[in-house]
Structure 1
Amino acid sequence: MLNRVEYNFGVSIIGQNKSFNEKLIKFLKEKNLNVVGFDGFREMVCSLEEDLKNILLFIDYCSIKSMEKELLKIINRNRDRIKVIIMDSCYSEETALKVIEMGAYDYIIKDYMFFKVLPHVIYKFAKQTETELELTRAQEKLKESEERYRLAIDGVNDGIWDWNIKDNSVFFSPRWKAMIGFKENEMKNTFEEWESLIHNEDRIFVLDKLESYLNGRQSNYKVEYRIRTKSGKYKWMTSRGQAIWDEKGNPIRMAGSHTDITKQKETQEKLYKMAYYDMVTGLPNRRFLLENLEKYIENKPSSEEFAILFLDLDKFKDVNDTFGHDAGDLLLKDTGEILKSYLEEEDIIARWAGDEFVILKKAIQGIEEIEDFCQRIIGCFSNPWIIEEQDFYITTSIGIALCPRDGQNAKNLLKNADSAMYYAKVEGKNGYAFFDSGVNDKLLKKLKLESRLRSAVKNEEFMLMYQPQFDTKTKEIIGAEALIRWNHPQEGIINPDKFIPIAEESGVIVTIGEWVLRTAALQQKEWQSRGLPPLSVGVNLSAHQFQQKNLVFCIRNILEETGLPPHLLELEITEGTALRNISYTINILKQLMDMGVRIALDDFGTGYSSLNYLKQLPIHSLKIDRSFLEDIPTDSAQVSIAKTIIDLAHNLNLKVTAEGVENQSQFDFLKHQNCDLVQGYLLSKPISSEDFEKIIKKYGKVKPR
């Protein structure tokens, strides 16, 4: 991604960890960045004061703790050309807030995710620098245009006009007529001729300005307007003039100039669009929305109600990760066009940030109107997008805040609409939710849990339990599934259903997932060193983790680091994860299978089960979801489904594992149907690594896969 960007900035580094600095410098130089390292804060200050170009400055927080005030001065003095990224060895919310308030551009943790996050940070800064450079160039062009304009006025004053008000005759200089495309004899020398060429939207304004001047209500006449040329196009003009009055105070003559300011207006329009419009979608941006929302709130009738809708695209990150940023930008642009088509003329839509949009619905008649609008918006996302000749489904989550019920100023309304949108996501996405203060408290608790999750990763509060998997015929242990638990210092053991969904939403799941893989592999090697046979271990891959482009590389590294033979690792993915992008899934699974890793399709039957995709997937086994076993053998429908899945898998040369086996009747049924493996509380609940080892040594019934 970075190698495609033309950089208009340099990179500097200050830190005491020389080995880390060398690694960082090497990484940045590989991305064609000009890098300078510093031994100390003083050396950096002197250098930056002399260097005038844009700088992305990486500073190790431990190197400047005692010099924060000086750093603040440096940032404020050079804010336009220096952006500071603070690096820290471990996350601290207090430090993060402090450095951001000081003006730091970003705050990054130096963990193993550092070099995965870094390209996105540099890419964002590169795009911002590029935009700022373009804005500077445009401002310089505008300044040059204004200087040329002043020189022209001082010289010839462009087109000249002289109006004899008594007989209504007008002299227009040949230069003026040529400016709008007419020859000398193609334009009548009358006031009405000039008036007829003024743009319809500007005519009343221009004539009022002229009348106010001639009647003495204004001391000068200067007006900007659009005028139609011979070709039918319009040019922007500035008209200036001075009048002569008779002894009775009646105007008798007026003369002045016409100046073509079309290019100046075009430059101003370009600058305005850069400041108030999003360059990807062409929609108004956050700044535009905030200014117009505040004006609307200030000027609207007190009885008028309106709504703020905060929209976020579900699964948008999957598009960026799978197809790249160009595809993501195209999707954002198409989304903006679709949303615009549903708005009334007075409504406003803006791209807020990333994949977030905000809609201002003015003068609403009630909640029912907003509900109907949201349902239509959600419905328009039901059709697939075609990205690189592949169908891809995107949905949206919408949060709604109503004025005056949920707030009476822009800040509170936007904050509350954002909170409602987050709740819509938590409730399953592809829906909408109105702001509710009670729900907002729950969201705050959820955000705190997310923060605690990040701390849990650093504090090594997670642990793995292992549920044995048994051969159905012999009841020999053939392996185990690794199941994560959160050993919270105050609340004790927390099951994954309480924190995994939040880890998925926040992205922490990637870090947790890598920890699970590495810990399970290390535990397997430790068991072997203690004399246990080489049993397979199953690890679940989350949907978010599976979409990571470095997944195969990460798994290969973990296997090499731990020395675990690939065939002893079984990776489990759900149907939903597999079907997100079938071609991507097949490609990744083939790479993993080529490494020797075993693949299991988890929760089979709960999603869009299809023979067509099942026969395409390179997998070794299916896992029957526990929901199909709960009422076996009394529920005939569940019996039929389980038998069908087992027969289907065997016909495709796949092994079958049944999860959630809790009673003897279920076990006897599965054994009779030749289900290969079972796991569940009937045979063993998830247990610690120590207890798993004791079971193996005590019973000795082990059959390596």
Structure 2
Amino acid sequence: FLHRAGNSFSLILLNLDFEEINANDFLDNIKSLNTTKNVPIIVFSKESDETFILNCIKKGASDYFKYPFDLNVLKLKSEILIEKQQEFLSEDESYFNAKYRSVMENKNTAVIEYDWLNNIFLYDPSISECIQGTFDSRSFWSILLEDEIADSNDIDKIKKIIDELINDSKKTNTYVEVRLKSSDSTKHWFTINAFKYINDFKFTNKIILTVCDNDKDILIDDKLRFKTEHDVLTGLYNHDTFIKKAEDRLNQAPNVSYILFVCEINNFKFINERFGIKESEKLLQFCANRILFYTDLERGLCGRLSNDSFAMLFSYDIDFFNDSIKILKCFFEDYPLNTKITASGGAYIIDDPTIPIEIIINRASLAKDTTRDSYVSKITVYDNSMNEKQYTEQYIADHMEQALKNGEFIVYLQPQINHSTEEIIGAEALARWVDPIKGIISPVDFIPFFEKNGFISKMDEYIWEKAAIHLQNWIKKGNKQIPISVNVSRQDINDPKLCEKLLTIVNKYDIPINLFRIEITESYFSEDTERIISVVEKLHNNGFLIELDDFGSGYSSLNILKDIQIDILKLDMKFFSGKDDLGRSVPIITSVIKMARLLNIPVIAEGVETKIQADFLLSLGCEIIQGFYYSKPLPVN
């Protein structure tokens, strides 16, 4: 019994007063068993002979109790010995783990140490996670057979490779493949590798066996391959795999035309900050599922390039392209989130399959960037002029920081004039970049780029401060005091310290707050209306006058007037179909101006280029004009 199950015990209590027990023989036998040699033994007897007691201790007894004895003392002694035994076993297991850690890190590989001189097997503590069986005091061969882990033929194969190592002094390792019962109760193919363990004295009495589940390794290889090739969050191909798969597809069908789309969620950073990482990840998974469904349907290819950027490859024809534009625009727009979600997309039509896929993706991305941050989803097809834009943006990116330090950004003012009196009643502050190499860089080039890369906030704060300095100088010189309107960007709106920053500038230069007006573009309100309303209310409550810029360019104009206290309305003159062709614009502009008068909101018409336009606006009661008809933006001096 102890031979089979001795390693299940933490302590043996041995009564030597039975006549059939020979103390010497019994203790010798217990200590000779591999399963019980390390188990502590407490011996008790009526015998008080000192020689008898010492002999028991020499034979391996951990302690001796003479009848009668105190049971509480026995209990305490037992607890101490059991505790020491557990520490010993823990150290023994740690030794095994440390010795074979590199092998055991593979969860489908178990280690067995075989001392063939003493016929002792030492097992990896986690062997049952690999092979189903009870690894007790029985020999390894008995366990394999009795627990139906292996049949006799496979057992013989294992014995054969061990015998080869023992009997062949030149052979140091070998292996065999056998069928064993895995931890899931099914038979798998296993590879058993056998190695000689040679000590520092060039002597070996041990064989190390590693038992590896081949079937599970195949599954693990598949899982590892999937993890290597796919994005963890969305399950789509990752950047590198998409490029490889796309290259393979183009090479396999060089005569087929393809189209590659790159799509990106607008203002994803804002969504991430506003709603949290978990919600952003759900949005990405939502979009990825739709993209995967559509590409599978059209036998295309898709992947996640980075953060919120996705790529899709399809065979190309014009009908498919027109349909795809409509479908792709809807991928992102009905996710249930309390903000408007739009996407920017770029497309590149692949007529030359020899162009590297990285360049194709880059060109589609360039096309995408031309529509980025729109308040509606758009997809643009690449053309060669976009490369010139990329070169310009690279120059801007390389020089913008130094330009700010060098004061190359200049405040220009575009006057706002009363058309009936031709008197200047205000001005809008606009940024101009005077570069020492390229001269004046157009704001059409650098403003959208700054909005994209985040530099717009630094430049805005610079322009705000310069505008405040000009106001302060006019006041000190006794010049006529006219208000200056400064623009705040989408990124500024998302800054929780926006109001404090503006107040700091006003107080620093001691200027009347009503002369420092804030312009907010109407399209911003289509993204996160509640947040922007709260920002506007805070600015308004602190004394700032709010101008709503580009009124009429978006889809929520009337709602904005209903929900937000606007001080001045800036009418977007894109309503005009041509310079002097008023056409169907007349009733629209008339209605807007009348509505504003009913709400007691002054109107400034911006973008006015001709006398006909200015006179028409004046006839409707809109006196304040801003545009090239009177003046382009000018340096302050």
Name the TM-score, length of structure 2 as normaliser.
0.63
Map of 1:635-654 to 2, 5 A cutoff?
Answer: 635=582, 637-654=584-601
Q: Given the alignment of the two structures, is residue 416 of structure 1 paired with residue 388 of structure 2, yes or no?
A: no
Residues 103 and 111, structure 2, Cα contact 8 Å, conserved in 1: no
Deviations 1:390-448 (A, max 9, x none): 142221413446485352xxxx2123222222123315774555666665355334433
Q: Which amino acid aligns with 2:309?
A: E
Aligned counterpart, 1:175: 147
Aligned pair partner of 2:622 in 670, 675, 678: 675
SS of equivalent to 2:295: coil
- The separation in 2 between residues aligned to 1:542 and 1:600, in whole angstroms, is 13
- The separation in 2 between residues aligned to 1:302 and 1:680, in whole angstroms, is 53
Cα drift, residue 553 of structure 1: 3.5
Cα drift, residue 571 of structure 1: 1.2
- The separation in 2 between residues aligned to 1:360 and 1:634, in whole angstroms, is 44
Q: Given the alignment of the two structures, is residue 456 of structure 1 paired with residue 403 of structure 2, yes or no?
A: yes
Q: Given the alignment of the two structures, is residue 689 of structure 1 paired with residue 636 of structure 2, yes or no?
A: yes
Worse-matched range after superposition: 494-503 or 610-619? 494-503
Q: Which amino acid aligns with 2:285?
A: K
- The separation in 2 between residues aligned to 1:497 and 1:144, in whole angstroms, is 62
Aligned counterpart, 2:574: 627
Q: Which amino acid aligns with 2:358?
A: L
Cα distance, 1:644–1:147 mapped onto 2, change above 3 Å: closer
Cα distance, 1:560–1:175 mapped onto 2, change above 3 Å: farther
Residues 464 and 688, structure 1, Cα contact 8 Å, conserved in 2: yes
- The separation in 2 between residues aligned to 1:305 and 1:221, in whole angstroms, is 52
Deviations 1:109-129 (A, max 9, x none): xxxxxxxxxxxxxxxxxxxxx
Q: Which amino acid aligns with 1:344?
A: D
SS of equivalent to 1:392: coil
Cα drift, residue 533 of structure 1: 4.2
CA RMSD of aligned residues (A): 4.4
Cα distance, 1:301–1:237 mapped onto 2, change above 3 Å: farther
Map of 1:247-396 to 2, 5 A cutoff?
Answer: 275-289=228-242, 296=248, 300=252, 309-344=261-296, 348-359=301-312, 364=315, 366-368=316-318, 371=321, 374-375=324-325, 377-381=327-331, 383-387=333-337, 390-396=338-344
Cα distance, 1:636–1:260 mapped onto 2, change above 3 Å: closer
Unpaired stretches in structure 1, ≥5 consecutive residues: 1-139, 162-170, 180-188, 192-218, 243-255, 691-705
- The separation in 2 between residues aligned to 1:229 and 1:647, in whole angstroms, is 80
SS of equivalent to 1:386: coil
- The separation in 1 between residues aligned to 2:378 and 2:177, in whole angstroms, is 54
- The separation in 1 between residues aligned to 2:406 and 2:330, in whole angstroms, is 45
SS of equivalent to 2:357: helix
Cα drift, residue 473 of structure 1: 5.5
Aligned counterpart, 2:13: none
Cα drift, residue 523 of structure 1: 1.0
Q: Which amino acid aligns with 1:564?
A: I
Cα drift, residue 589 of structure 1: 0.4
Cα drift, residue 648 of structure 1: 0.9
Cα distance, 1:311–1:143 mapped onto 2, change above 3 Å: farther
Aligned counterpart, 2:541: 594
Cα drift, residue 620 of structure 1: 0.6
SS of equivalent to 2:584: helix
Cα drift, residue 528 of structure 1: 0.8
SS of equivalent to 1:653: coil
Cα drift, residue 570 of structure 1: 1.1
- The separation in 1 between residues aligned to 2:291 and 2:492, in whole angstroms, is 31
Cα distance, 1:401–1:452 mapped onto 2, change above 3 Å: farther
Residues 276 and 288, structure 1, Cα contact 8 Å, conserved in 2: yes
Q: Using the aligned pairs only, state the percent identity.
A: 25
SS of equivalent to 2:110: helix
Q: Which amino acid aligns with 2:360?
A: N
Cα drift, residue 525 of structure 1: 0.9
- The separation in 2 between residues aligned to 1:542 and 1:583, in whole angstroms, is 17
Residues 329 and 378, structure 2, Cα contact 8 Å, conserved in 1: no
SS of equivalent to 1:470: strand
Cα distance, 1:223–1:320 mapped onto 2, change above 3 Å: farther
Aligned counterpart, 2:110: 150
Aligned counterpart, 2:39: none
The number of equivalent residue pairs is: 479
Deviations 1:251-276 (A, max 9, x none): xxxxx998668988888777666655
Cα distance, 1:611–1:348 mapped onto 2, change above 3 Å: closer
Cα drift, residue 520 of structure 1: 0.7
Cα distance, 1:543–1:507 mapped onto 2, change above 3 Å: same
Aligned pair partner of 1:581 in 528, 532, 549: 528
Aligned pair partner of 1:557 in 488, 504, 510: 504
Aligned pair partner of 2:429 in 476, 482, 506: 482
Residues 540 and 573, structure 1, Cα contact 8 Å, conserved in 2: yes
Cα distance, 1:220–1:442 mapped onto 2, change above 3 Å: same
- The separation in 1 between residues aligned to 2:383 and 2:421, in whole angstroms, is 56
Aligned counterpart, 1:536: 483
Q: Which amino acid aligns with 1:350?
A: G
Residues 416 and 626, structure 2, Cα contact 8 Å, conserved in 1: yes
- The separation in 2 between residues aligned to 1:454 and 1:583, in whole angstroms, is 34
Worse-matched range after superposition: 221-230 or 311-320? 221-230
SS of equivalent to 2:302: strand
Aligned counterpart, 2:96: none
The higher radius of gyration belongs to 2
Cα drift, residue 652 of structure 1: 1.8
Residues 371 and 380, structure 2, Cα contact 8 Å, conserved in 1: no
Cα distance, 1:172–1:152 mapped onto 2, change above 3 Å: closer
Residues 626 and 658, structure 1, Cα contact 8 Å, conserved in 2: yes
Aligned counterpart, 2:471: 524
Q: Given the alignment of the two structures, is residue 500 of structure 1 paired with residue 447 of structure 2, yes or no?
A: yes
Name the TM-score, length of structure 1 as normaliser.
0.58
Cα distance, 1:313–1:414 mapped onto 2, change above 3 Å: farther
Q: Which amino acid aligns with 2:594?
A: D
Aligned counterpart, 1:55: none
Unpaired stretches in structure 2, ≥5 consecutive residues: 1-99, 115-120, 134-142, 154-173, 195-208
SS of equivalent to 2:285: helix
- The separation in 1 between residues aligned to 2:597 and 2:333, in whole angstroms, is 36
SS of equivalent to 2:569: strand
- The separation in 2 between residues aligned to 1:584 and 1:482, in whole angstroms, is 25
Cα drift, residue 630 of structure 1: 7.7
Cα drift, residue 588 of structure 1: 0.8
Aligned counterpart, 1:101: none
